[in-house]
Amino acid sequence: MVDLSIGTPVDPTPDVVTDALRGAADAPGYPYAAGTPAVRAAASAWMSRRLGVDCPPDQVLPTIGSKELVALLPFLLAARGRVLVPALAYPTYGVGARLAGCESVPVPLADGLLDLDALDSLADGAALLWANYPANPHGRVAPPDHVEALVGWARRRGVLLVSDECYAELAWDAPFTSMLAHGTDGVLAVHSLSKRSNAAGLRAGFVAGDGDVVARLLAVRRHAGFLVPAPVQAAMVAALGDDEHVEEQRARYRARRDMLRPALEKAGLVVEHSQGGLYLWACHPAYDDCWALVDALARRGIVVAPGEFYGRDGARHVRVALTATDERVAAAARRLEKEQL
């Protein structure tokens, strides 16, 4: 079986990262919850260099990967009321709301983007709004005018906007715009080294943005013991300071995408959105149910994720990951090209 169901990196962690990790392995003392000055400066410099974002180091906080921050953010902020999440999204946004005792409210999408008109009807009692571009699972990249409108809406409504930007450096068909491009007031961005640096096993990420919110998070996290290990912080400095390995990994994923997408289309699937990220979002006109499409692909030796995992709007779609070796992706392409589904 070719497993294209899970978005876990399979390529080696770059030497620049593992060398820094080994070099900092002698770490007898407790690490700083706030992060070392070096890691905060590296994150700030990376956002400026790669994203065109001005976010000072004291408004950056390292996290134990991005998932723990996503799952625990409403709890850490003692949020009350509604947490607004995209109707088609990474399930952990909703899980985090429920862990904090909040109501998880799905926001309808219009052409893969958060529907601003629908948001107006959901704003009462909302404490937090999640955005995710390039989006998981469907890969939509938000255009600059949508980003500006979303930030403006959140500020007018007094709702904290939290942008999951872990695929920021993996936009393919449209340029990426960070939610922090319009300033940090009332906005947080969550970043991860898992995808761009093949470092999922290190659990290395950070959150950046509104200084008051970052300070509140730090005050809770230092007492709760959410400390990124010192060797991992050193590896983060190295990873964020090196763009070459990111471009090399982008080239690998682009080649796999260029191999897999036409094969899916030749088999009769329709690929929608998929402008960025590590997945292709596809449906088939002959299949009204994602589970039937999952089954049809499994019979050809290819495992994909059912779109229903990500919300009711995904009931006809499947998510196909690019995170497999070249050999496995080529095997999937050959199987797809043999016959129509």
List the domain boundaries for the chain: 2-10+245-336, 25-242
Q: Is the pLDDT of residue 286 over 90?
A: yes
The sign of the dihedral angle between the CA atoms of 17, 20, 26, 30 is: negative
Q: Give the Cα separation of 44 and 148 in Å (integer).
A: 21
| N-to-C CA span, the chain | 17
* 103-107: strand order across its sheet: 60-64, 204-209, 187-192, 160-164, 126-132, 82-86, 103-107
The mean per-residue pLDDT over the stretch 301-328 comes to 98
Name the average pLDDT for the chain.
Answer: 97
Amino acid type, 159: V
Residue 124 tokens, joined = 């009462």
Q: Give the Cα separation of 199 and 275 in Å (integer).
A: 23
pLDDT-based confidence at 334, cuts 50/70/90? Answer: very high
What's the CATH number of domain 25-242, 3.40.430.10, 3.40.630.30, 3.40.640.10, 3.40.50.720? 3.40.640.10
Q: Give the rounded percent of residues in the chain with a pLDDT score beyond 70.
A: 100
Give yes or no for a contact between 201 and 8, defined as CB atoms under 8 angstroms apart.
Answer: no
Amino acid type, 246: V
Q: Is the pLDDT of residue 53 over 90?
A: yes
Q: How many CB atoms lie within 10 A of CB 130?
A: 27
pLDDT-based confidence at 266, cuts 50/70/90? Answer: very high
pLDDT-based confidence at 45, cuts 50/70/90? Answer: very high
- 2-10+245-336 maps to which CATH number? 3.90.1150.10
| Total count of residues recorded for the chain | 341
Give yes or no for a contact between 237 and 60, defined as CB atoms under 8 angstroms apart.
Answer: no
Q: What is the DSSP letter of 47?
A: I
Q: What is the pLDDT of residue 341?
A: 87
Q: Is the pLDDT of residue 106 over 90?
A: yes
CB under 8 Å to 139, separation ≥6 — which residues?
Answer: 273, 274, 275, 276, 277, 279, 280, 281
Q: What is the pLDDT of residue 339?
A: 80
For the stretch 163-194, pLDDT in tens is: 999 999 999 999 999 999 999 999 999 999 99
Nearest-10 Cα torsion for 208, 212, 216, 222: 60
For the stretch 115-147, pLDDT in tens is: 999 999 999 999 999 999 999 999 999 999 999
Q: What is the pLDDT of residue 85?
A: 98
* Bridging pattern class, strands 60-64 and 204-209: antiparallel
Q: Give the Cα separation of 75 and 325 in Å (integer).
A: 37
- Please spell the DSSP secondary structure of 126-185, one letter per residue: EEEEEEESS-TTT-----HHHHHHHHHHHHHHT-EEEEE-TTTT-B-SS----GGGG-ST
Give yes or no for a contact between 202 and 14, defined as CB atoms under 8 angstroms apart.
Answer: no
Q: Is the pLDDT of residue 340 over 90?
A: no
